[in-house]
A = this chain, B = another copy of it.
Amino acid sequence: MKQPTILDVAARAGVSKSLVSLVMTDPSRVGEANRKAVLEAAKDLGYRPNAVARSLVQRRTGVIGIVLSDLHNPFFADVADGIEAAASERGYRAMLSSGFLDPKRERSAITTMLELRVDGLIIMGSMMKVGRIEGVATALPVTLVGRHTRSKRLDSVCTDDAAGAREAVAHLAELGHTRIAHIHAGSAAGSPRRRRGYEKEMIKRGLVDRIRVFRGDFTESGGAKAMIEILNSGDMPTAVFAPNDAAALGAMEVIDDAGLDIPGDISLIGYDDLTLSGLPRISLTTVGQPRTDLGREAAQLVLERLDEGREDARHVVVPPSLVIRSTTGPPPGDADAQPSEDPQ
Question: A residues near B, CB below 8 A?
Answer: 1, 3, 46, 48-53, 55-56, 61, 63, 71-72, 74, 77-78, 80-81, 84, 93-98, 100, 111-112, 114-117, 138-140, 220, 249, 252-253, 256-257, 275-276, 279-282
Contact = CB atoms under 8 A, between A and B. Distances in A.
A80 B98 contact: yes
Copies in the complex: 2
A55 to B, nearest CB: 5
Q: List the 8 closest A-B pairs by CB distance, nearest first.
A: A51-B115, A96-B96, A71-B77, A256-B280, A281-B281, A72-B77, A52-B55, A52-B117
Contact of A48 (B96, B98, B139, B276): B139
B80 A139 contact: no
A269 to B, nearest CB: 16
Nearest to A112: B93
A112 B63 CA distance: 10
Contacts of A97: 93-96
Contacts of A50: 56, 115, 117
A93 B110 CA distance: 12
A261 to B, nearest CB: 12
Contacts of A56: 50, 52-53, 56
Nearest to A72: B77
A115 B252 contact: no
A84 B98 contact: yes
Nearest to A140: B1
Most buried by B among A61, A78, A93: A93
Contacts of A100: 81, 84
